[in-house]
A and B are shown apart, each in its own frame.
Chain A
Amino acid sequence: MAESLEASPAIPAPPCRRLRFKGMYVYTDGFHPEAHDDYDNTIFWCQKTLKDIGPDQGFVGREDCREGSRPCYEAD
């Protein structure tokens, strides 16, 4: 399935340093053969709460935990 697909544009702001997902543990060398370009189903959690909700009780996610998005954001 190599055709190009229209997908949501990536948001460039850096993620919170507490954001976690399985790929961070598994693809530590940065190469991700299952990049989910066409169907992102990544499950995120916050390292601070160890839940899918953050310290502010908002959702945790790739777009939810970007710089400037919420008061609990922590930079690297």
Chain B
Amino acid sequence: MASWPESTRLIGKSIPRLDGLAKASGRAKYPSDIRPEGMLFGVLLTSPHANAKVKALDLEPARAMPGVKGVIALATAGETNVIYQGQEIAAVAAETEEKARDAARAIKVEYEVLPHVVTERQSTAEGAPKAFAAGNSRPGRAQTAGKPDEAMKGADATIEATYELPVITHVCLEPHGLTAEWKGPDSITVYASTQSVMGVANDMVETFGVDASKVKVLTEVMGGGFGSKFNADVWGIAAAKLAKEAGRPVRMFLDRAQEHLIGGNRPSAKATIQLGATKDGKLVAMTAETSGTGGRGGSNFPLPYVYHVPDRTRSHTEVFVNCGGSRAMRAPGHPQGCAVMEAAMDDLAHKLGINPLEFRLKNLAETDMVAGGINRTEIYHEQVRRGAELIGWGRWKPRGQGGDGPVKRGLGMALHQWGGGGAQDKQVACIVNPDGSVELRSATQDIGTGARTILAIIAAEVFGLEVGRIRSNIGDSTFPPGQSSGGSTTSPSMAPPCFDAAVKARDELFRRIAPGLEAAVEDLALKDGQVLVKGEARLTWEQACRKLGMMPINVVGVFAQGLSSTGVGGCQFAEVTVDVETGVVRLKKIVAVQDTGLILDMLTWRSQVYGGVIGGLNYGLFEERIMDEPTGVMLNPDMEMYKLAGATDIPEIVVEAHDTPEMRARGVIGVGEPPTISTAAAIGNAVANAIGVRVPKWPMSPMNVLDALAAAEGKA
């Protein structure tokens, strides 16, 4: 079983990301910034209708436009049924973006518009048009344990409530897309904004039948994916086809409206939950009817989430709508499951007259074992205790005691969990050159998490060098197989082979220089840019590397057990004020406590948690896709009416690493997803605590808050 060094110089410290200055200064070239010589601009023509047949499609007017170099159909007249607004109809490549847009507008499409369903309500309404051959809904996976009906009868207190979260979109700052450049009839280079350079390469191989050895996908840096950028997408393949047709590179990125419509979304969730407990606060039963829509994909989510309910039943219905398809979004399913369960827990604690913090701890499973022999329940207890200190939970008061004036103050909390882990089949190459330069290579990518930096930290730790001396060369599909970035798996998948590669390279260096130093290999060590023999500095790093002569060291590291793990927990607390006259919620403070095993770079780790919390407060307070039922179109496909937090909406965020020797011994676990899960749940509970009324619908927007207050007064 491998292990990380017990004493570290760099690992676990706060180290700025290697590409931070380039990103902050604008020097970093994102895929959408790449402009190969002779590049054409691609534009996608999409359907304005949510449900329609394409009766006729005439591309000739576009082909006749000045500056147009290629036009392809992405739908077939007489065959294609458009099933959502934004579905791809045709693509154009032209000398300028404006000419491409003009040409796309010139394409003539004749539709037979059909009845649509664009909301859950519309899709499930009695007499709703059957929008899909398979029907408008489908039962999801059901679960039953024990005898919930019988157990519920024995409960001393029960609540029954319906909680809802809307569809939200990914809103990647860099839109989906790529630039395709053919290097000959059967060789292509692609600059893609992707979470998987290997995945995009695979799509090029599968679509064009070219040899994998002649496909190169490059992602030096990229502007966010959150689970929505794993393949080449229709428009990426269209760019490659147009590039082939025109004999010139083609850039094809979605515009902001298309990004909202077809760049992915997180499914909605609706849960009608009955939850019962004994008078001393022990959960006994749960029944839940849930539903959600992800366009046509899965919308299920975990229940009863982190809590132990011995007798329970749950049924789920997948609802289908004429909207763009959902894609994985940061911790798929967990934010929804967390929000509805934590709301139900808070509501039941209120009914029982029990402090919701104590109620939560009382209802965790006695043992919740995760990898490494860790009982997550014990970790939760420590995390909740620490989080309560940091938020000042001693100030907590029961609902309805948030203050005398119109602005009420409240506290809320929520727990979350995540699996994470990683794949055990990835590789990292480590090259030590005679000039002393060190390069790491792998076909993974840095999606903004700091993956490039943590690989360099590991190698620098092993070589006794500064982090900036290591060239962490990733984002190239032709390098040794690397991890696709999803599921919080990049670091736990890539750190072990990186460590192995660096150790192998160091050992090979020692083997080759030891004879010249008249020393035994086991007497050599690296520290502060020096080669030590029995603790005495004998050569600089550069002098040692020069002894490699004309032959660099080039080794490949592989996974080793013991260096990474899986299964984490965390909790978050929120303090809010709510103006009951306007419904405006203001965040005052959020505390995020998180464990993720061995932290490789405390700075990028904290950055991940901050980002997760900010993502969570966005869907806690602002985000909502609004569909217009009569017309079937999205009403807010922009960044003005699709609300997101501005700088003044971000409160004090206290990030607390549950960083203990026990956690470090577990090895590396990813932190991309866990810290975004419970933020919205904690905010929802803080709002209920402040105003004394449950707001059952996220986001905690003024309208939803005022609706809840009105309903409580019988005015809804």
Contacts and interface: CB of A to CB of B under 8 A. Distances in A.
17 contacts: A1-B304, A5-B144, A22-B486, A28-B423, A31-B423, A31-B424, A33-B419, A34-B419, A39-B301, A41-B267, A41-B298, A43-B297, A44-B297, A45-B325, A47-B206, A50-B237, A52-B325
B308 A6 contact: no
A40 B300 contact: yes
Given A41-B267, A44-B297, A53-B296, A5 B325 contact: no
Given A28-B425, A33-B419, A50-B234, A5 B298 contact: no
A58 interface: yes
Contact of A33 (B227, B365, B483, B566): B566
Contact of B132 (A4, A20, A59, A60): A59
B65 to A, nearest CB: 27
Contacts of B369: 2
A51 B484 contact: no
Given A5-B145, A20-B231, A26 B140 contact: no
A6 B316 CA distance: 14
B295 A52 contact: yes
Interface residues of A, number: 39
A31 B299 CA distance: 23
A43 B141 contact: no
A50 B295 contact: no
Nearest to B486: A26
B484 A58 contact: no
Given A25-B199, A33-B419, A38-B141, A51 B231 contact: no
A69 to B, nearest CB: 12
A3 interface: yes
Interface of B: 80-81, 83, 132-134, 140-145, 196, 198-199, 203, 206, 227, 230-234, 237, 267, 294-304, 308, 316, 325-328, 332-333, 337, 365, 368-369, 371, 418-421, 423-426, 483-484, 486-487, 489, 566-567
B422 to A, nearest CB: 8
Contacts of A47: 203, 206, 231
Contact of A59 (B134, B199, B328, B487): B134
A51 B203 CA distance: 13
Contacts of B304: 1
Given A52-B297, A59-B296, A39 B567 contact: no
Contacts of A7: 141-143
Majority SS of interface residues in chain A?
loop
B141 A8 contact: yes
A41 B145 contact: no
B296 A41 contact: no
Contacts of B294: 43
B420 A33 contact: yes
B270 to A, nearest CB: 14
A42 B298 contact: yes
A29 B492 CA distance: 13
B143 A43 contact: no
Contacts of B328: 22, 43
What are the 5 tightest A-B residue pairs by CB atom distance, in nearest-first order?
A: A25-B484, A34-B419, A52-B325, A41-B300, A43-B297
B337 to A, nearest CB: 8
Nearest to B316: A39
A22 B487 contact: yes
A53 B423 contact: no
Nearest to B369: A2
A50 B145 contact: no
Contacts of A39: 140-141, 143, 300-303, 316, 333, 337
> Which of A1, A27, A44 lies at the interface centre, i.e. has the most chain B CB atoms within 10 A of its CB?
A1
Given A5-B143, A39-B143, 19 more contacts: A5-B144, A6-B143, A6-B144, A8-B141, A8-B142, A29-B423, A33-B419, A38-B141, A39-B333, A40-B141, A40-B300, A43-B328, A43-B332, A45-B231, A50-B232, A52-B295, A52-B296, A57-B83, A61-B297
Contacts of B326: 43, 52
A6 B298 CA distance: 19
B174 to A, nearest CB: 19
A47 B196 CA distance: 14
Contacts of A28: 423, 425-426, 484
A6 B142 CA distance: 7
Given A29-B424, A52-B295, A22 B227 contact: yes
A76 to B, nearest CB: 13
Contacts of A58: 133-134
B298 A22 contact: no
Contacts of A57: 80-81, 83
Nearest to B368: A1
B58 to A, nearest CB: 22
A33 B370 CA distance: 10
Interface string A7-32: 11000000000001011011111010
A42 B230 CA distance: 14
B474 to A, nearest CB: 16
Contacts of A3: 145
Contacts of A43: 294, 297-298, 325-328, 332
A60 B332 CA distance: 18
Contacts of B418: 34
B196 A25 contact: yes
Contact of A29 (B144, B327, B425): B425
A61 B132 CA distance: 15
A33 B300 contact: no
Given A52-B297, A58-B134, A33 B567 contact: yes
A23 B298 CA distance: 14
A26 B423 contact: yes
A44 B420 CA distance: 20
